[in-house]
Amino acid sequence: MVIPRPGFEELVEKCLFNNVTFRITSAGMDFYIRHFLRPYGWRDKVELVAPEVVDTHDGVRFLFPPKQFSQAHNFKEDNVLKEHAAGKRVAYIGDGISDRWAAMAADMAFAVRGSVLDRELEMAGKDHLTFTDLHEVVVNLFPGPTRQRG
């Protein structure tokens, strides 16, 4: 069983309560992420953009989501650009090198403290907040009294 980073459940619930889209944009395996979301009842509530794993006669293939914007470096940044084109603000949370361009394009970026992404954003001069527990992200995105769905 995968144990999410502390504060993950709180972050998802806060987003759902406040009608904020929560989207996982991952280079990981789609079926594995969906399997992780199922026990929490989030499978149909959390959007997922990830490569689709397809079993072919030649073996397993990863089909990455197509990009809408040619200037996007990868599908993660493309998702941020799509949200901006729709007039939405984007907060991006990540830790790895594949998150760099999406975090750079986001209105607000969060990086795991000491991660590759944290170092990349620091070197690029991109304002960002660091965290170890996703509760730190929650209090920055949703300041004010704590309320949950219920």
Q: Which domains are present in the chain?
A: 8-141 (3.40.50.1000)
- Provide the 10 A C-beta neighbour count for residue 127: 7
SS (H, E, C) the chain: CCCCCCCHHHHHHHHHHCCCCCEEECCCCHHHHHHHHHHHCCCCCCEEECCEEEEECCEEEEECCCCCCCCCCCHHHHHHHHHHHCCCCCEEEECCHHHHHHHHHCCEEEEECCCHHHHHHHHHCCCCEEECCCHHHHHHHCCCCCCCCC
Q: What are phi and psi of 94, to 5 degrees?
A: -160, -175
Model pLDDT for residues 84-126, shown as the tens digit of each residue:
999 999 999 999 999 999 999 999 999 999 999 999 999 999 9
Q: Is 150 helix (H, G, I), strand (E, B) or coil?
A: coil
The pLDDT value recorded for residue 134 is 96
pTM above 0.75, yes or no: yes
Q: What percent of the chain has pLDDT over 90?
A: 74
Q: Give the chain's residues under pLDDT 50.
A: 149-150
